[in-house]
Amino acid sequence: MTVDTPHLRAKDVNVWFGERHVLRDVNLSFPSNQVTALIGPSGCGKSTFLRTLNRMHELIPSAGFAGEILLDNKDIYAPEMDPTNVRLSIGMVFQKPNPFPTMSIKENVLSGLKLSGRKADNAAELVETSLRRASIWNEVKDRLNDPALSLSGGQQQRLCIARSLAMNPEVLLMDEPCSALDPGSTRRVEETIMELSPTMTIVIVTHNMQQAQRISDQTAFFLSEDGNPGRVVEFGATEQVFNQPIDARTNDYVNGHFG
């Protein structure tokens, strides 16, 4: 698959919570081997949209969805698609690190396999590979049986990334993965994202404009105005969106005039 091939696509996505229409007519393409940043003020639907990309949205009571999410041209919302398998192919890392507190570091890495009923041919090798890909192996290789909560916040977040990577996902979704981290941990997570991007599709929600510029190839700017549903105002190469935006509202947002 070439870099420019849309690996994941959102077509005419609309989202509701009960009667409230929160996202309108979102159309975005996510090529493989690239990082896409979703930016915009709080409440404009970025995280909600992210959750539609692996069917986590439908776990919320009263949630409604219309449109298509295509992974390799197959609609993940088609009746024959198993939501569990969809979430194995399209992993997610959340805003706050959420390792399983009663499990060791090693057990956390393997937990997704266990919960999904899968078995690893070589568990030790999978643990090492996943932790290496998440840029944390050298920090934990001598303490794999220690509790996951013995790690720092930044290490816990990279452990959660390793847990997702152990499932060998095609796509990794990240919902503000650095918002609870200190600058040093943020830098390490960003380095991990950049190291992973040549091998997978990554979509990240971030409120940090500098972060979006540092790590993403393309950026989508979401906005909700006057109580209307959120929508994409501008979408393009990150350099263009930040340095030569087409829409004046994009220019105002990325330069800190609102939001």
C-alpha dist (Å) from residue 18 to 15, 21, 52, 63, 115: 10, 8, 16, 6, 31
Token digits for 143? 């303490």
Alpha helices in 90-144 (DSSP H): 105-115, 123-133, 137-140
Do residues 50 and 220 lie in contact, with contact meaning Cβ atoms separated by under 8 Å? no
Task: Write down the pLDDT at residue 82.
Answer: 93
How many Å apart are CA 15 and CA 62, to the nearest integer?
A: 11
Do residues 137 and 58 lie in contact, with contact meaning Cβ atoms separated by under 8 Å? no
Task: Write down the pLDDT at residue 13.
Answer: 98
C-alpha dist (Å) from residue 84 to 12, 73, 87, 249: 23, 18, 5, 38
C-alpha dist (Å) from residue 88 to 17, 99, 197, 218: 25, 17, 18, 24
Query: SS3 of 226, please?
Result: coil
How many Å apart are CA 144 and CA 127, to the nearest integer?
A: 9
| pLDDT tens digit at each of 259 positions of the chain | 344 556 899 999 999 999 999 999 999 999 999 999 999 999 999 999 999 999 999 999 999 999 999 999 999 999 999 999 999 999 999 999 999 999 999 999 999 888 887 888 899 999 999 999 999 999 999 999 999 999 999 999 999 999 999 999 999 999 999 998 999 999 999 999 999 999 999 999 999 999 999 999 999 999 999 989 999 999 999 999 999 999 999 999 999 988 7
Helices (H) then strands (E): counts for the chain? 10, 10
Alpha helices in the chain (DSSP H): 46-52, 83-89, 105-115, 123-133, 137-140, 153-165, 183-196, 209-215, 238-243, 248-254
- Cβ neighbours of residue 31 under 8 Å, at least 6 residues apart? 3, 4, 5, 6, 7, 201, 217, 218
Task: Write down the pLDDT at residue 178.
Answer: 95
Query: Strands 171-175, 20-31: parallel, antiparallel or unpaired by DSSP?
Result: unpaired
Task: Write down the pLDDT at residue 116.
Answer: 81
- Domain boundaries along the sequence of the chain: 6-254
C-alpha dist (Å) from residue 32 to 62, 134, 200: 32, 19, 6
Q: pTM higher than 0.85, yes or no?
A: yes
Residue type, 79: P
Does the domain made of 6-254 have the CATH classification 3.40.50.300? yes
